[in-house]
Amino acid sequence: MSSKQLEIGDRAPDFKALTDTGESIKLSDYRGKKIVLYFYPKDDTPGCTKQACGFRDESDAVAEHNAVVLGVSPDSEASHVKFRDKYELGFPLLVDEDHAIAESYGVWGEKKMYGRSYMGIIRSHFVIGEDGKILDARVKVSPADSVKHALKAITGD
């Protein structure tokens, strides 16, 4: 099962991950900016594409509010590159093949589809403030609602 889910006011766990460009980054590299850290199950699937393209389409509003978007899934760097290029995503996609990042945020858990249970990423997002504390936490969120709620948390509207 998943570990404890994080809540508003909790300190966001730091991590180190490879991006779709092969660069190694840490969450703490973005301290001083707001961060939308969103978790999605799989590259180039309908819901995940809707969520990613929603964040892509709101990139100007995100940037205007001193914020960045980071997408996380258990897919490989090569898969992320294809997904990024196909949909012209302008933000990093992070490789979490061992699902350590998802576990640290409490969004790796049991899922059910067609009567079968399996472990996977639970679609979610965390908006992290400049100080590293969580401003918004949405777990089991729909792709469209994820973008809408994250943007609201960034802008304060």
Catalytic (active-site) positions: 48
* Gyration radius of the chain's alpha carbons: 14
Task: Give the CA distances from residue 91 to residues 69, 121, 124, 136, in Å, rounded to whole numbers and listed in that order.
Answer: 6, 20, 17, 20
Q: What's phi and psi for 51, nearest 5 deg?
A: -65, -50
Distance CA 61, CA 47 (A): 22
Distance CA 112, CA 131 (A): 36
Structure tokens at 5: 């889910």
Residue type at 132? Answer: G
Dihedral of CA atoms 87, 90, 96, 100 in degrees, nearest 10, equals -140
